[in-house]
Amino acid sequence: TVLGILTIIIYMVGFVGGSSSVLAMAFLNPLLLLAAWSLALGVTFTPGVEKEAVVVKGAALEIPFFNALLAMHLKPREVEEIQDFRGPLNTGLRLVEDIPELLIGGLDLLYFGGAWYAWLGIACSMMMILFHLFVGIFLTCRQSAMWVAQIGRPLETE
């Protein structure tokens, strides 16, 4: 409710206009950020159901700067659970975000000659797709190596 009230106040002050409105907005906008971080902090670290905690912490990793603070306090088990939970999201982002960026950027280069941001968008999308593929290959190789290590281990006899 605090975020909603603060947002309404900011909109009301913004519609008034004038120099006092600009000054008030300069003071109110950082308060909105602090209130949002406080809300995220409260929701993230409130004890709850295990599956729900993974969802909340996974969402909290999307908040700028807050994600670094959260990552410092995660346990290794929680990191693995969040990574497993976010796996489909990462794949979905490659399909929904990067592949269309490659297509649209390619069309921009083909028809309009392309600007620097078209080249930058293509390069960033290509890097994310390659990174996602290489991480997948690395994890598959690691899993295969662990499986081979289990098979090659001599039986323990006493």
Extract the tokens encoding 126.
Answer: 């290509």
Q: What is the pLDDT of residue 115?
A: 84
> Are 13 and 24 a contacting pair, CB within 8 Å?
yes
Distance CA 34, CA 55 (A): 22
Low-confidence residues of the chain: pLDDT under 70: 1-3, 48-51, 152-158
- Per-residue pLDDT reduced to its tens digit, 32-63: 777 777 777 777 777 766 667 788 888 788 77
Angle at 21 between CA 18 and CA 23, to 5 degrees: 115
Q: What is the pLDDT of residue 91?
A: 79
Q: How many residues does the chain have?
A: 158
* Model confidence pTM above 0.75: no
Q: Which of 2, 26, 5 is nearest to 14 (CA)?
A: 26
Distance CA 133, CA 122 (A): 16
